[in-house]
Structure 1
Amino acid sequence: MKKVILTFSMGLLLLAAHAQQKQGRVLYERTIQMDMHIEGLVPANDGPALPQSHKDKLEVLFGNDQSLRRTMDEEMPEEFSERAGAMHATMMVGDAADVTYNNFATGQVIAQREFGAKNYIVTDSVHKLNWKLTGKTSTILNYPCQEAVAQLIGKRAVIRMENDQLKTEEVPDTSSIVAWFTLAIPVPAGPEYQGQLPGLILGININDGRTIYTATEVSEKTDVAVIKAPSKGKKVTVAEFNKERDKMIAEMQRNGGGVRVMSTRQ
């Protein structure tokens, strides 16, 4: 009995020690399954196959009730192309150069988004999902985690070939989300869904593996001064950014140029 009590007490002390961490840096690996179909486009037999998945790394800095998410890769993510007649389309993983700032005290979200060689500063607020705890637990990087699930009703981009032209449209899309968070670090930061759960998110699985975030390193060291809202770019609302993006895509399609597909989280 003494051994059991001692072990339990040591566990509480370890959890209490972790719970003091209110600032830090987390590295994540993100894997995106490239489930892409272009109606009317037949890939050449001798051409390169489209990649089945894309991996990249990003970091999240948190402290002073704020967080900052940014990609780690210095180069742009891998591009791949497919040629159909005279039409040449360039597909690219979205949000490669984006920076997202969250203020947990105010619920404000400020993102720097790049599109068409232009930078935009998009101001929004946290749109909380209806999270439910499943009671399942796990351990990630020695941190005890709890599982939370939710559904996100949004939109996704669909590319179609019409009259030898690529057309992009947004269709309704419902995503199932599984997140693993730890109360040992009581900060609502993470690679996605910041400000929505009571602890640091260390893992996310969207639509049974279509997108997976996995924490690979957690550190208490971070430069808190770096955690601030981005400011370089045209200031717009989410609706204004989507309008300018759609206008630019339509113009590129009319000119027969490349089409860049960005991920849309609405």
Structure 2
Amino acid sequence: MKYIKTLLLVLLTTPSWAQKMEGVVTYERVQYQTKIYSRLTFLSQEEKDRIKMTWGNDDEWKTKMKLFFSPTQSKYTYFNTQGQTEDGNYSWRQDEFEIYRDFEKEKKTEIIEMLGRTYVLEDSLNMPRWKIMNQIKDINGHVCMMAVTEDTIRNQKITAWFADDIPVQAGPERYYGLPGLIMELNINDGDVIITATNVELKPVAEELKLPKKLKGRKISDSDYDKIISTHIRDSIKSHRNPYWAIRY
């Protein structure tokens, strides 16, 4: 934690070239259905094996996402508002999912559609408790360091790889707060892997602006956590996969 605070201090006092660093990242989000089913405690091993055989090699659910970032703000959402299968034969409207962060004001706004309604989460920033590890790897031409944390509500292990040559705190999904842009996010040992496929530096001030009108039920962080934990508990009790209705 001390290491993170030190690097963040360096980030905040970086020369003007870093302060002007802004752009857009394209991510590929891959969700592996059979891995998620294998964690459902109410399923027998026979049922898990049958699900794996049914899905075969088609258990990858791919989605393109994008992240607009600057040293002080970020916005993460779908690449397109309409999803489409790779062969183009099937399309659908994406659920509302926009995550805005204001690092300067330490505020966040999240617009999330789930469980049949849209929620507007407005609260102060609550940075994940990262632990930086002594491992590096190359991701799309950027040397990245590894950091880990956990989601205690979903009981998930989170592994992030961040590029310190892009000194911004932004990242995909609900994760941020490292001394460099998160280039890859691994949720629960490969259940979901989100990887940056392109980083384009360009002005993005317009894209970072909040909508003038926010439609949905306003909730706080604690409200959101309670909704998620209650849904997961009730779904497991009823022998249902909770992640058909909420984001993994």
Fold-level similarity (TM above 0.5): yes
2:139 and 2:18 mapped to 1: Cα distance?
15
C-alpha deviation, 1:179, in angstroms: 1.3
| Greater helix content | 2
Q: Does 1:263 align with 2:247?
A: yes
Residue identity opposite 1:102 in structure 2:
R
Alpha-carbon contact 2:187-2:193 (below 8 Å) kept: yes
1:60 and 1:72 mapped to 2: Cα distance?
9
Aligned length: 206
**TM norm structure 2:** 0.68
Structure 2: runs of 5+ lacking an equivalent: 1-14, 86-93, 235-242
Q: Give 1:1-266 correspondences, 5 Å limit.
A: 19=18, 22-34=21-33, 35-36=36-37, 37=40, 39=43, 49-50=54-55, 52-63=59-70, 65-76=72-83, 96-115=95-114, 117-148=116-147, 150-156=148-154, 173=155, 175-230=156-211, 231-241=214-224, 260-263=244-247
Residue identity opposite 2:79 in structure 1:
M
2:125 and 2:207 mapped to 1: Cα distance?
21
Alpha-carbon contact 2:128-2:176 (below 8 Å) kept: no
C-alpha deviation, 1:188, in angstroms: 0.5
C-alpha deviation, 1:126, in angstroms: 3.0
2:128 and 2:30 mapped to 1: Cα distance?
23
Query: Looking at CA atoms only, which structure, 1 or 2, has the larger radius of gyration?
Result: 1
Alpha-carbon contact 1:104-1:195 (below 8 Å) kept: no
Work out the percentage of aligned pairs sharing the same amino acid: 28
1:53 and 1:65 mapped to 2: Cα distance?
34
C-alpha deviation, 1:260, in angstroms: 4.7
Residue identity opposite 1:114 in structure 2:
E
**TM norm structure 1:** 0.64
Alpha-carbon contact 1:126-1:195 (below 8 Å) kept: no
1:56 and 1:146 mapped to 2: Cα distance?
25
C-alpha deviation, 1:181, in angstroms: 0.9
| Greater strand content | 1
C-alpha deviation, 1:211, in angstroms: 1.3
1:220 and 1:239 mapped to 2: Cα distance?
35
